Copies of this chain bind each other. A is one copy, B any other.
Amino acid sequence: MKSERGILFILSGPSGVGKGTICKALRAQKLNIQYSVSATTRNPREGETNGVEYFFKTKDEFLKMIEQNELLEWAEYVGNYYGTPIEYVNQTLDEGRDVLLEIEVQGALQVKKSFPEGVFIFLTPPSLDELRSRIVGRGTETEDLINNRMSVAKEEIEMMKHYDYSVVNDEVESACDRIKSIITAEHCKVSHVQPKYEKMFRS
């Protein structure tokens, strides 16, 4: 284990805010950060490799992981389970590398309970109007469905108070720059570097 442990960053935010786009843009920049690999019970698609896109598990294996508290968070979507294995995250952090976890708001709140030392970043829409127009922009939703999604989004934005940072997704590049600044700043936190300096003094 290196003297400076990596930091777990959790990127989350309401559905439709553009988490996936931001994450993709960050990946393209080849930062020194590891993207978390989820476990899932869904079948691998063509070209997917175990341990790269996902850790593929049987339902029994997955349920056992839940039982043994081996997941930072988990959820069921359309009959399949998805979750974040603690072991993979901890191993990567112990190697001194940061981990970025992109995740829904409910999952992030679960992670907060089991991993409070993580750095929680909330991606916010520039305004509620803008979020509505992004949802409407997808074209196929009825008025009822749009209103429903907006009220879910509002509830999710209320969850922002449980996060450390709030990054406005006004423009992909600016939002990425803010996230990179947060990563740099977190590495400068006294609580993070203190052990290194104590070592310097002892020597």
Main secondary structure of the interface of A (DSSP, over half): helix
Known A197-B124, A200-B127, A200-B128: A188·B167 in contact at CB below 8 Å? yes
Say whether B163 contacts A190, CB under 8 Å.
yes
Cβ of A194 within 8 Å of any chain B Cβ, yes or no, is yes
Enumerate the 6 nearest inter-chain pairs by beta-carbon distance, A residue then B residue, closest first: A185-B185, A181-B184, A181-B181, A165-B188, A182-B185, A166-B193
Count identical subunits in the complex. Answer: 2
Smallest CB–CB gap between A163 and chain B, Å?
5
Q: A166-B190, A166-B197, A181-B188 are in contact. List 19 more A-B contacts (CB 8 A).
A: A121-B188, A122-B190, A124-B197, A128-B200, A160-B190, A161-B190, A163-B190, A165-B185, A165-B188, A166-B193, A177-B184, A178-B184, A180-B181, A181-B181, A181-B182, A181-B184, A182-B188, A185-B185, A185-B186
Cβ of A59 within 8 Å of any chain B Cβ, yes or no, is no
Cβ of A157 within 8 Å of any chain B Cβ, yes or no, is yes
Interface residues on A, range: 20 to 34
Say whether A154 contacts B201, CB under 8 Å.
yes
